[in-house]
Structure 1
Amino acid sequence: MPIDESAYDRRRLGQWLSGEAKAEGVSRRDLLRLAAAAGVLTTLATPTPASASPSASASASTPAPAPGIVKPLPPELFTIRGTNAETNWSALRGTGFHTPVDRFFVRNHTSTPRLDAASWRLKVWGSGLRGAPGLDKSVEFDLHDLRRLPSVTIDAFVECAGNGRSYFATQQGDTVTGTAWTLGAVGTARWRGVPLSLVLRLAGLTRRAVDLQPRGLDDEYVTGGINLGRVRRPMPVAKALDDVILAYEMNGEPLPYDHGHPVRIVAPSWVGISNIKWVGDIEVSDQPLYSPWNTDFYRLFGPAYPAEGSAPLTGQTLKSAFETSAGATFAAGVRHRLTGRSWSGTGGIRHVDVSTDAGATWRRADLHDRPRTGIWSRWSLDWHPTAPGATALLARAIDTTGRSQPATTTPNTQGYLFDAVVRHPVTVLEPASV
Structure 2
Amino acid sequence: MSNENLFDQEDYIKARVDEYIWQKSIEAGISRQRFLRILATMLGGTAIGGLARPLPARSQTNTSNAFKTKGSKILKPLPPGYISHSKGTLEMNWETMYGRGYLVPNNWFYVHNRNTPPPFNPATWRLRIEGTGVSVPCEFTYDEIIAMPSISVTSAIECAANGRRFFEEAYNTPLSGTRWRLGAIGVAEWTGVPLSILLERAGLKSTARDVLVEGADLASLDAKGTKPSKFNSVVPIAKATADNSLVVYAMNGEPLPPDHGWPCRVIFPGWAGNANVKWIERIEVSETPIYTQWVLEQMVLIGPDYPAISPYKGKLITYQNVKSAFELAWPATLSAGNYLLRGRSWSGKGKIVRVEVSLDGGRTWQLARLREPNLPFAWVRWDIDWNPTPGKYSLQARATDNLGNTQPSTVPWNDVGLLYGGVVSHPVTVQG
TM-score range, shorter chain: 0.7 to 0.9
Query: Residues 376-391 of structure 1: matches in 2 within 5 Å?
Result: 376-386=379-389, 388-391=390-393
The match for 1:5 is 8
The match for 1:192 is 191
RCO comparison, higher one (Cα < 8 Å, 6+): 1
How far off its partner does 1:77 sit?
Answer: 2.7
Q: 2:45 aligns with which of 32, 38, 48?
A: 32
Is 1:114 the counterpart of 2:139? The answer is no
CA contact (8 A) 2:79 2:108 kept: no
Query: Residues 332-411 of structure 1: matches in 2 within 5 Å?
Result: 332=336, 334-386=337-389, 388-411=390-413
Distance 1:343 1:204, change over 3 A: same
- C-alpha separation between the residues in 2 aligned to 1:174 and 1:307? 22
How far off its partner does 1:139 sit?
Answer: 0.1
The match for 1:53 is none
| SS of corresponding position for 2:129 | strand
How far off its partner does 1:370 sit?
Answer: 4.3
- C-alpha separation between the residues in 1 aligned to 2:216 and 2:85? 23
The match for 1:271 is 272
The match for 1:149 is 148
Is 1:100 the counterpart of 2:105? The answer is yes
- C-alpha separation between the residues in 1 aligned to 2:159 and 2:374? 21
- C-alpha separation between the residues in 2 aligned to 1:109 and 1:19? 35
How far off its partner does 1:358 sit?
Answer: 1.5
- C-alpha separation between the residues in 2 aligned to 1:17 and 1:184? 40
How far off its partner does 1:330 sit?
Answer: 1.6
- C-alpha separation between the residues in 2 aligned to 1:115 and 1:420? 40
The match for 1:313 is 317
- C-alpha separation between the residues in 2 aligned to 1:20 and 1:142? 38
- C-alpha separation between the residues in 1 aligned to 2:335 and 2:219? 51
Q: What amino acid maps onto 2:163 in structure 1?
A: G
How far off its partner does 1:350 sit?
Answer: 0.5
Aligned residues: 386
- C-alpha separation between the residues in 2 aligned to 1:20 and 1:177? 34
TM-score of the two chains, using structure 1 as the length reference: 0.83
The match for 1:58 is none
- C-alpha separation between the residues in 2 aligned to 1:33 and 1:86? 37
Distance 1:288 1:310, change over 3 A: same
The match for 1:238 is 238
- C-alpha separation between the residues in 2 aligned to 1:92 and 1:4? 30
TM-score of the two chains, using structure 2 as the length reference: 0.84
Structure 2's unaligned 5+ residue stretches are 26-41, 50-69
Structure 1's unaligned 5+ residue stretches are 22-28, 37-64, 131-136
How far off its partner does 1:96 sit?
Answer: 0.6
Please provide the CA RMSD for this pair: 2.4
Q: What amino acid maps onto 1:310 in structure 2?
A: G
How far off its partner does 1:363 sit?
Answer: 1.7
Deviations 1:370-402 (A, max 9, x none): 44320100011111012x221111111111111
CA contact (8 A) 2:156 2:378 kept: yes
How far off its partner does 1:119 sit?
Answer: 2.8
Q: 2:419 aligns with which of 394, 417, 434?
A: 417
CA contact (8 A) 1:213 1:234 kept: yes
Q: What amino acid maps onto 2:323 in structure 1?
A: K
| SS of corresponding position for 1:411 | coil
Deviations 1:126-152 (A, max 9, x none): 11111xxxxxx5201111111222111
Is 1:330 the counterpart of 2:334? The answer is yes
The share of aligned pairs that are identical, in percent, is 39
Q: What amino acid maps onto 1:420 in structure 2?
A: G
- C-alpha separation between the residues in 1 aligned to 2:24 and 2:79? 48
Deviations 1:296-329 (A, max 9, x none): 1010111112145434211110000011111211
Q: What amino acid maps onto 1:410 in structure 2?
A: P
Distance 1:33 1:114, change over 3 A: farther
Q: What amino acid maps onto 1:213 in structure 2?
A: L
CA contact (8 A) 2:120 2:263 kept: yes
How far off its partner does 1:289 sit?
Answer: 0.6
Q: After TM superposition, what 4+ stretches of structure 1 lie above 4 angstroms from structure 2?
A: 14-21, 33-36
Q: What amino acid maps onto 1:236 in structure 2?
A: P
- C-alpha separation between the residues in 2 aligned to 1:83 and 1:410? 29
Distance 1:124 1:80, change over 3 A: same
- C-alpha separation between the residues in 1 aligned to 2:428 and 2:132? 56
